[in-house]
């Protein structure tokens, strides 16, 4: 079922002159505007990778992947939909979540016809008691009824490998391994490894040495980075 969040984002990107839910060959496109195809994806980008590769063969594509930085959980009493509680979720997204999504697109991005946008959003999530398709019940089981956009705080725009540096600390513009990356970015080592994977395969860094079992990277010279044609 399509969420209100998805409909709101479609309306936002369509503006006054775009079209929504357009059949395009064997694909359905969320928004077509000014000669660009917009695909809005709240779930993993892995699910649309093949579709996007197909579309890039002949069209300019903008992938929109919202990152939920704040979420208000609205608890409903059941099918009647009466609100019994509203609270801020303790889970918060962050700017570096860009790489958690991009890891599935690291061999697609950058591309001269591809742009990726990450709106950092606050949303409301309506829940009611239930356990969905699971056979076993749990005390706090719930079913998500809908998600609604509250605000967009900012949007990260990626067009070329160099844009990835806007998401990372400035002091990384030198040689580093993933332990140093983790310390500088304030993340765990396995997250730093994913970031390094994205930077490497997107052409923002290159592997230059090893320190024991750790690989050392350095920023790719600007003239050597993968670039996107306008």
- Residue 74: phi and psi, rounded to 5, are -110, 110
Calpha distance 37→24 (Å, rounded): 9
Of 110, 134, 159, at which residue does a domain stop? 159
Calpha distance 89→100 (Å, rounded): 20
pLDDT reported for residue 63: 98
Q: State the total domains in the chain.
A: 2
Query: Is the domain of 103 the same as that of 80?
Result: yes
Query: Is the domain of 136 the same as that of 175?
Result: no
Of 127, 143, 159, at which residue does a domain stop? 159
**Mean pLDDT, all residues of the chain:** 89
Query: Is the domain of 17 the same as that of 121?
Result: yes
Query: Is the domain of 25 the same as that of 139?
Result: yes
Asked if the model's pLDDT at residue 137 lies above 70, the reply is no
Mean pLDDT of 191-200: 95
Of 159, 179, 208, at which residue does a domain stop? 159
Query: Is the domain of 26 the same as that of 116?
Result: yes
Query: Which band of pLDDT confidence, cut at 50, 70 and 90, is reported for residue 84?
Result: confident
Query: Is the domain of 136 the same as that of 205?
Result: no
CA-based R_g, the chain, Å = 20
Query: Is the domain of 58 the same as that of 118?
Result: yes
pLDDT reported for residue 227: 47
pLDDT reported for residue 134: 53
Asked if the model's pLDDT at residue 110 lies above 70, the reply is yes
Query: Which band of pLDDT confidence, cut at 50, 70 and 90, is reported for residue 145?
Result: confident
Query: Is the domain of 79 the same as that of 155?
Result: yes
Quote the domain boundaries for residue 217. Answer: 167-230
Q: State the CB neighbour count (10 A cutoff) for residue 118.
A: 22
CATH number at residue 173: 1.10.10.10
């Amino acid at each position: 079922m399509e969420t209100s969040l998805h409909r709101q984002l479609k309306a936002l990107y369509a503006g006054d002159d775009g079209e929504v839910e357009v059949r395009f060959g064997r694909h359905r496109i969320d928004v077509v505007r000014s000669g660009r195809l917009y695909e809005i994806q709240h779930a993993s980008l892995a699910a649309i990778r093949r579709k996007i590769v197909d579309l890039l063969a002949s069209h300019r594509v903008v992938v929109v992947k919202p990152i939920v930085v704040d979420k208000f959980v609205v608890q409903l009493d059941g099918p009647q939909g009466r609100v019994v509680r509203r609270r801020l979720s303790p889970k918060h997204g962050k700017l570096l979540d860009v790489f958690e999504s991009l890891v599935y697109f690291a061999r697609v991005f950058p591309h001269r016809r591809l742009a990726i946008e990450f709106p950092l959003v606050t949303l409301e999530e309506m829940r009611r008691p239930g356990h969905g398709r699971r056979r076993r019940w749990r005390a706090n089981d719930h079913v998500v009824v809908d998600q609604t956009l509250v605000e967009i705080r900012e949007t990260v725009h990626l067009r070329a490998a160099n844009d990835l540096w806007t998401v990372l600390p400035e002091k990384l513009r030198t040689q580093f391994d993933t332990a140093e990356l983790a310390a500088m970015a304030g993340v765990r080592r396995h997250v730093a490894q994913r970031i390094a994977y994205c930077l490497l395969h997107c052409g923002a860094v290159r592997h230059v040495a090893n320190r024991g079992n750790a690989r050392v990277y350095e920023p790719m010279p600007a003239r050597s980075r993968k670039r996107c044609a306008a």
